[in-house]
Chain A
Amino acid sequence: DAEITQSPRHKITETGRQVTLACHQTWNHNNMFWYRQDLGHGLRLIHYSYGVQDTNKGEVSDGYSVSRSNTEDLPLTLESAASSQTSVYFCASSDSTGWNTEAFFGQGTRLTVV
């Protein structure tokens, strides 16, 4: 069955370190997204991609970057981790063709910056 997976599920890192969160989907979806979830803020969009070599900034992109070298993967990099980036991160994907715009989410990565 097609799926979307994130790794790691939990990560503790130190302030100032570079961290990369992985997202891999086998839906063959063109669209991929990274959200962060914080209490009281819901799901906020960090970066998104509509296809290979395409990346776009979301509403909370400062301190984060992504790259899209193939259809399946959209890794999220924290250039220099800060305590404010402690959060739960969700990757999602959706189809860009036809009428089906449902977004499928990964299991989430809980990141703690100490």
Chain B
Amino acid sequence: GENVEQHPSTLSVQEGDSAVIKCTYSDSASNYFPWYKQELGKRPQLIIDIRSNVGEKKDQRIAVTLNKTAKHFSLHITETQPEDSAVYFCAALLQGAQKLVFGQGTRLTINP
């Protein structure tokens, strides 16, 4: 089955700097890659996603890149703000299976 590895497990950056979180997946048939943000005590919520037919997607300060050949995808957050502090999860969805497999999560801390 699909396996998703996420790095780093914790990340601390200065406010205003950029943050990058990386994920690799094992099954080349996976075709949908969402990123979820989970604030303390809250439920995970989708912040951005990318499908296998595109290489990059942006939404204001966040962007996701996908390298299908290498089977890895990354989340980029620019001009970080204190409200970006949260746990971020990447996930992969196997085509036809409709179930998401999640990475282990990254705790991002933005230092003022």
Interface residues of A (CB under 8 A from B): 31, 33, 35, 40-45, 48, 50, 58-59, 90, 92, 94, 96, 101-103, 105-108
The reply to whether A50 and B101 contact each other, CB–CB distance below 8 Å, is no
Whether A107 lies near B43 (C-beta < 8 A) is yes
Q: A16 CB to closest chain B CB, in angstroms?
A: 29
Q: How large is the interface on B (under 10, 10 to 19, 20 to 34, 35 or more residues)?
A: 20 to 34
Q: A42–B43 contact, CB under 8 A? A: no
Can you sample 16 A-B contacts with CB below 8 Å?
Answer: A31-B98, A35-B102, A40-B9, A40-B104, A42-B89, A42-B102, A43-B102, A44-B102, A50-B98, A92-B100, A94-B98, A101-B93, A103-B34, A105-B45, A106-B43, A107-B42
* Contact, CB under 8 Å: A103 / B100: yes
Cβ-defined partner of B44 (8 Å) among A31, A41, A43, A48 = A43
Tell me what chain A mostly uses at the interface: helix, strand, loop, or mixed.
strand
Hey, which chain A residues are within 8 Å of B49, CB to CB? 102
Selected from B34, B98, B100, B104, the residue in CB contact (under 8 A) with A96 is B98
Cα separation A107 to B42 with both chains bound (whole Å): 6
The interface of chain B, by Cβ under 8 A from chain A, is 1, 6, 9, 32, 34, 42-46, 49, 89, 93, 98-105
A45 adjacent to B45 (CB under 8 Å)? no
Closest residue of chain A to B101 (Cβ to Cβ) is A45
A38 to chain B, nearest CB (A): 10
In contact, B46 and A103 (Cβ under 8 angstroms) = yes
Rounded to whole Å, the gap between the CB of A7 and the closest CB of chain B is 14
CA–CA, A96 and B93, complex, Å: 12
